[in-house]
Amino acid sequence: MRSFASDNNSGVHPAIMEALTRANRDHALGYGDDLWTEEAVRKIKETFVADCEPLFVFNGTGSNVIALQLMTRPYNSILCAETAHIYVDECGSPVKMTGCQIRPIATPDGKLTPQLITPYLHGFADQHHSQPGAIYLSECTELGTIYTPDELKAITSLAHQYGMWVHMDGARIANACASLGLSLRALTVDCGIDVLSFGGTKNGLMMGECVIVFDDSLKSEARFIRKQSAQLASKMRYLSCQFTAYLTDELWLKNATHANAMAKRLADALEQVPGVRFTQKVESNQLFLTMPRAETDRMLQTYFFYFWNEEADEIRLVTSFDTTEEDIDTFIRILKN
């Protein structure tokens, strides 16, 4: 069944499936001591920066909690947007795994700014208060919006000024790069990001993410925290080999560019439908909108998608690397009929 519910629902890109098939031949050493993982590590270092530390993990929540454990101690607080994945959608896992207090910050578009963050930067050295330790942000945000390099640099500069770290959840970073016409390095290393959760599952991979540690002082404990967090894969080659294919011939960018283009096509068509109102700018592959509830309920009989805010009748539609023009044209035709 085709849907616009989530890019998690899409299939696996054929090039990724071929990589998995190749990795499945013969035996290989476990826990990352294999040629497939060595090759993937080289590819990531070439893409981002030579002295980074890539750690392959099973999933997005695992990558986030590893990154945040690296940056914090239980007496710290973690600042994030009130729509952040770690605050809304991870069942308290970051709190349980770090012991930290999470401080959500209200934003109109899912994006943090120095002006929004600054009021929460207090209580330093006061033993009665949780110590602000890390800032979590998503690229793209949970509302589909995108941080520019200047916006990221302003946040990382502020954080580092206060001795804090910045973690980027890059579950959809490929879509952000495609939208801005920038490299993966330009939106991470060059902006002062300390640790990246490099996602691929939403953009053609079967499974797995990669925690990439950029700051030298955070590298020594990373492998121990991954193991203790139950994110060390024994047959790691099946995770790592995907990233080699993903970063070869810019497959990551081609997939994301297509998903973004399909989102624009869908948005352009929806703008012509009476009663449709967008609640966020369409900058990536996510669309947030409202339309008469009767129409939404009717479309749910044919398509599966999520309410973002059911009280406001706000829904979310997501396109994927394998979304076709026919998928969109059929959706619009059924809506208009």
pLDDT in tens, 207-255: 999 999 999 999 999 999 999 999 999 999 999 999 999 999 999 999 9
CATH 3.40.640.10 fits 14-247, yes or no: yes
pLDDT in tens, 282-302: 999 999 999 999 999 999 999
pTM comes to 0.95
Asked if 315 and 296 count as a contact pair (C-beta separation under 8 A), the reply is: yes
* Domain boundaries defined on the chain: 14-247, 251-336
Model confidence at 337: pLDDT above 90:
no
pLDDT in tens, 166-205: 999 999 999 999 999 999 999 999 999 999 999 999 999 9
Residue 3: the pLDDT is 87
% of the chain at pLDDT higher than 90? 98
Model confidence at 161: pLDDT above 80:
yes
Q: What is the mean pLDDT of residues 311-315?
A: 94
pLDDT in tens, 52-109: 999 999 999 999 999 999 999 999 999 999 999 999 999 999 999 999 999 999 999 9
Mean of all residue pLDDT scores within the chain: 96
SS (H, E, C) 146-165: CCCHHHHHHHHHHHHHCCCE
Residue 203: the pLDDT is 97
Model confidence at 134: pLDDT above 90:
yes
Q: Which residues of 215-234 are buried (b: 16+ CB within 10 A; e: fewer)?
A: beebbeebbebbeebebbbe
Q: Which amino acid is at 212?
A: I
Beta strands in the chain, from DSSP E residues, in sequence order: 53-57, 76-81, 101-105, 131-138, 165-170, 195-199, 209-213, 277-278, 286-290, 306-309, 314-318
- State the Cα–Cα distance between residues 154 and 113, nearest whole angstrom: 8
Residue 163: the pLDDT is 97
Q: Which amino acid is at 159?
A: A
| Rg value, the chain, Cα | 20
Q: What is the mean pLDDT of residues 306-325?
A: 95
Model confidence at 1: pLDDT above 90:
no
Q: Around Cβ 36, how many Cβ atoms within 10 Å? A: 24
Model confidence at 8: pLDDT above 70:
yes
Tell how far CA 265 is from the center of its chain: 23
Residue 2: the pLDDT is 80
What CATH number belongs to 251-336? 3.90.1150.10
Tokens of 257: 């560019």
